Structures are given as structure tokens and as C-alpha cells.
Amino acid sequence: MANPSIDRSAQTLECRLVGQGAPLLLLHGIQGTSEAWAPVLPALLARRCVLPNLPGRGLSPRWRADQALSHARYYHLDHYADLVHALVTDLAQRTGSPVALAGWSMGVSVILNLLARHGDAALERLVLVSGTACATPGAVWFRGETPEALEREARERAERLQLKAVADADAVAASWASVRGADLRAAARGIRRPTLVVHGDRDGDCPFEHGRWLADHVPGAAWLPLPGVGHSVMAQAGEALGSSMSAFLGS
């Protein structure tokens, strides 16, 4: 059943729209914004690409004390999954076509949580880049225990991953708290849509074994390992990722 409050919230998200064709929704990572996908977009313009900024990123809304959700729940995988589901449903209704859904890093967690909470109705295909179904152990994106330490670490990570724009530090902290506690392996095993899994073998944030696990356990998944590539696949191997996604999506 649709949630009118979530539907309205999804409509307030900043979204970039490029290209023409069947819809493709692209999700950023925990600290980045929709700009993270910029190196890949030239290869995907045969699709109608929709690039939202989740709360706490870009021009999308921030948490306010007068909102129904707590700060922790506002910047939580459950809220993100519900918002993306509302976007997918709206896109499918407006275009009359199922929606392809791609995620990088935390975006993979959002996709898996969407599947766990809402199923795969209105979804066409999935692309899972540099992600994990269960961050613990191994995928440690942040170690800071205080807001100050986390903010400093986030700045250093943004520089290392060559992010052009970054999320608010409080959004990063709360998002990480939900990601590191999530076990979405059952959702991954239950995927019934064609899926492409992409992972760099030099990924220091989400180890290669996490991508390999997804490729092995998502039924029928296509697997694209990228030798010599780290976590920021779009920045480091944008051309290879773009061409592979275009071929997989049929665009």
C-alpha cells in the first residue's frame, strides 16, 4: 500500500534527468551525490537516466526536529529504500515501462533493502557496483566514534575516492550506522531480476570478496570483476563500466 507521506517526500528529492528512452535510476554511495555517476552517463544516454540525491545530499531535504522520523531513522536504509521505491513506482507509472535500477556502494544496500521491504514489482534489471549484502565483517567505510572524528575521516575519504560533491557529515554518520548493522543476504539470494555485479579487485572500502559473494549468490548474476580498480569504479573505470552497463541494459 502506498504511503502518501513517503510519496510526498520522494517528490522533494533533487533529481537530475538526462537521456531518452526506458527509465534507469542511478543511486549514489554513502558520502557522494548523484555527481558520482557523471563519468558513466555518456554511455547511458539511450536511457532516461534519473539521478536522485538522497536526504542530506545536494539540494535534497535535511532532517528537521519537527519531522515525524528521528534523525537516525531519517538517514536510515529503510527510509532511503522507501523513498527510492516511491520514485520507481512513479517512474514506472509515468513511462509505462519497468525501471532499471543501479547502485554504487551504499546504493547497493539501498537496492537490496528496497527488495526486502517492497519486492521487485516495476523493476526491470539491476546493476550492483562496489557493494555488499552484509558489511560486517570486512567492509569498514568509517571508523570514527565521534562526529568530529567522522567528519574529518569523511573529508579524507572524499578526497581519496575523488568525489566531486559530498553528503553532510551527520547524514554520513547515521547512514553508516544503519549500513554496518544491515544483513541483506536473504534479499540478495531472492533476486529474480537480471543482475550485473561489478567490483574492483583493489577495493579497500568494500573488499572484492563482497562483490564475489553477490555474484555467486544472486541467481543468474552476470559478473564483471575489474582488475586494478578500487572502490570508486566510476572515477577509475568509467568507460569500462559505462560500456558494460549499456550492453547489459540493452541501451
**Average pLDDT of span 121-139:** 95
Question: Smallest Cα–Cα separation from 100: which of 42, 39, 26?
Answer: 26
pTM over 0.95: no
Question: Smallest Cα–Cα separation from 205: which of 108, 135, 144?
Answer: 135
Question: How far is Cα of residue 133 from the mean position of the Cα atoms in its chain?
Answer: 12
Enumerate domains of the chain plus CATH numbers.
4-249 (3.40.50.1820)
pLDDT at residue 143 in the model: 83
State the Cα–Cα distance between residues 188 and 181, nearest whole angstrom.
Answer: 16
pLDDT at residue 50 in the model: 97
Confidence of residue 140 (pLDDT cuts 50, 70, 90): confident
- The model's pLDDT over 227-249, given as tens digits with 9 standing for 90+, comes to 999 999 999 999 999 999 999 99
pLDDT at residue 1 in the model: 43
* Helix, coil or strand: residue 98: coil
Residues in Cβ contact with 168 at an 8 Å cutoff, skipping those fewer than 6 apart: 56, 57, 62
Confidence of residue 127 (pLDDT cuts 50, 70, 90): very high
Question: Smallest Cα–Cα separation from 132: which of 169, 153, 107?
Answer: 107
pLDDT at residue 142 in the model: 84
Least confident of 72-86, 111-125, 144-158, 188-202: 144-158
Confidence of residue 56 (pLDDT cuts 50, 70, 90): very high
Question: Smallest Cα–Cα separation from 163: which of 104, 227, 84, 228?
Answer: 104
DSSP labels for 186-234? HHHHT--S-EEEEEETT-SSS-HHHHHHHHHHSTT-EEEEETT--S-HH
Amino acid occupying residue 84: V
- The model's pLDDT over 16-55, given as tens digits with 9 standing for 90+, comes to 999 999 999 999 999 989 999 999 999 999 999 999 999 9
Mean residue pLDDT across the chain: 92
